[in-house]
Amino acid sequence: MSVRVIVLAAGQGTRMRSTLPKVLHPVAGAPLVTWVVNAALGAEPDETLVVIGHGAEDVAAVLPEGVGTVVQEAQNGTGHAVLVALEALGDVEGDTVVVVPGDTPLLTSGTLARLAAAHAELEPAVTLLTTRMADATGYGRVVRDDAGEVVGIVEERDTDETQRRITEVAVSTYAFAGGELMRALNEVGTANDQGEMYLTDVVGILAAEGAPIASVETSALEVSGVNSHDQLAEVGRALRARLNLEWMREGVAMIDPDRVYLEATVQLEAGVVLMPDVHLRGDTSVAAGAHLGPSVYAEDSHVKAGARVWYSVLREAEVGESAEVGPFASLRPGTILGPDTKAGTFVETKNTSLGRGSKVPHLSYLGDAEVGEDSNIGAGSITCNYDGFEKHPTTIGDRVRIGSDTMLVAPIVIGDDAWTGAGSTITRDVSEGALGVERSVQKEIPGYSAMREAKRRSDE
């Protein structure tokens, strides 16, 4: 006997009112469907097949390796989607077929394994995953007879007054005996409010035949489906809370986890401190003892041990050990800050490296620059790296002192131990140990203030 999982992900998701297929909406850094497929893979089935339709190519592109796909050309309902999947799977007689919707990203591998285990033990025709909801709006209700046996599932739009009050709901997740599923599915019609083939009808058909039906209950939160943007936000909050809890258990400190936004791809070490409003995205890592926030947005960036970053934006940047960034720094792609460096207040860098101990404390722009070790870039200094046509490099050596408000017109090389005078526009290379200064001689006009006052009076 093998276990085959079918993930239903062909629907458009009309209620999202979006051009993006529903299952591609991202939540905590991954599309809805990716979460579900990863949960399915975690339960270690023999085969996983995703039914795609709306935006088929785009959906297929986000799926992990080893997952099959089948296209449901017209989305004629969840029952039709499973029928299409079964055609692709071939003979499933004797197998267990687990069906999962593509829009419940909080569903865990553990629950799927529990569903499959209950099904294997009881050997009914189908084992339903159900939950209890005080407000079951939008969900199919599980209808039971007086003996408590499942009679069927009724979609909300097809319920009567009494059925609408049922709080036990079906969540589109089932373990079926393959043969029973194939037979019952062939009897499913489209006589319902939407004129679609409902997978839920399979349960009623099996029940009417007197086939045994089992059920496994889980928490309502875990099976919350996403049909609209408000539900997407709610599910996102829960996913983030789950991720944050896992990281806190790994030794990451958060003074307010509700205000820490981590994507699933982010890697953290024990001893990291995350203050409120930290957003870490994509391929980002933070090493032990680094202190981030308040207010840091970092994507595809790496922060080394003991660094401190606050009120700043990092994109494809690397912050070295014990380096300091911010407040209000923008580290753009290709920034590599060495150990013990500083990119301080209102500093922007792009494609720039700072060697160990070098500092850019205030109000500077460095683009296409390579700075050696222990150099200091004075406040307000700028690399003029773009001549309107091309970008040019600036090379600054070790132990250099760039005076405040220096314009470095690239391409340019400043040698080791060199200096530039404050306010200079440096257009030629400065040799090792030299001072490059470009300034007109300061004039002094004595009595200037009195002269102006006299002029004002004579004009009156």
Q: Which is nearer to ligand UD1, 198 or 247 (CB)?
A: 198
Of 276, 316, 320, 282, the closest CA to residue 296 belongs to 276
Is the Cα torsion angle 10, 12, 18, 23 positive or negative in sign?
A: negative
Which residue sits closest to Ca ion, CB atoms considered?
Answer: 225
Name the nearest CA neighbour of 189 among 75, 52, 76: 76
Choose, by CB under 6 A, the member of 72, 111, 218, 349 that binds ligand UD1.
72
Choose, by CB under 6 A, the member of 139, 247, 261, 310 that binds ligand UD1: 139
Q: From the list 9, 98, 106, 206, which residue makes contact with ligand UD1 (rule: CB under 6 A)?
A: 9
The 10 Å Cβ neighbour count of residue 403 is: 22
Beta bridge partners of 129: 216
Partner interacting with residue 51 (select from Ca ion, ligand UD1, none; CB below 5-8 Å by kind): ligand UD1
**203, 153 in Cβ contact below 8 A?**
yes
SS3 (DSSP) at 458: helix
Task: Verify cis geometry, omega within 30 degrees of 0, for the bond prior to 257.
Answer: no
**Pairing assessment for the beta strands 253-254 and 273-274 based on DSSP bridges:** parallel
Task: State the binding partner of 198 from Ca ion, ligand UD1, none, CB within 5 to 8 A by kind.
Answer: ligand UD1
What DSSP character marks residue 110? Answer: H
State the residue for tokens 């003996």: 147
- Does 24 participate in binding ligand UD1 (rule CB under 6 A)? no
The residue behind tokens 């460096």 is: 341
Does residue number 31 form part of the binding site for ligand UD1 (CB under 6 A)?
no
Site string for Ca ion, 79-118 (x = CB under 5 A): ------------------------x---------------
Which position among 34, 48, 78, 406 is part of the footprint of ligand UD1 (CB under 6 A)? 78
For the bound state, the minimum distance from the C-beta of residue 78 to ligand UD1, rounded and expressed in Å, comes to 3
315 near 303, Cβ under 8 Å? no
> Does residue 13 belong to the site contacting Ca ion (CB under 5 A)?
no
The listed partner (ligand UD1, Ca ion, none) that binds 75, CB under 5 to 8 Å by sort, is ligand UD1
Per CB under 6 A, contacts with ligand UD1 among 162-191 are 169-172
Given 279, 291, 302, 362, which residue is catalytic?
Answer: 362
CB 24 within 8 A of CB 33: yes
- Strand 168-177 and strand 96-101: the pairing is antiparallel
What's the closest the beta carbon of residue 322 comes to ligand UD1, in angstroms?
47
Catalytic site includes residue 54: no
Q: Which among 75-83, 126-134, 323-331, 447-455 is the span making contact with ligand UD1, rule CB under 6 A? A: 75-83
Encoded one letter per residue, x for contact with ligand UD1 by CB under 6 A and - for no contact, window 98-137 reads ---xxx----------------------------------
**SS3 category, 198:** coil
Distance from C-alpha of 331 to C-alpha of 309, rounded to nearest angstrom: 11
Residues 6+ apart with CB under 8 A from 390: none
CA angle 219, 192, 149 (to 5 degrees): 45
Size of the site for Ca ion (CB under 5 A): 3
Q: What is the contact surface with ligand UD1 in residues (CB under 6 A)?
A: 8-11, 23, 51, 72, 75-78, 80-81, 101-103, 139-140, 153, 155, 169-172, 198-200, 225, 227
Q: What is the contact surface with Ca ion in residues (CB under 5 A)?
A: 103, 225, 227
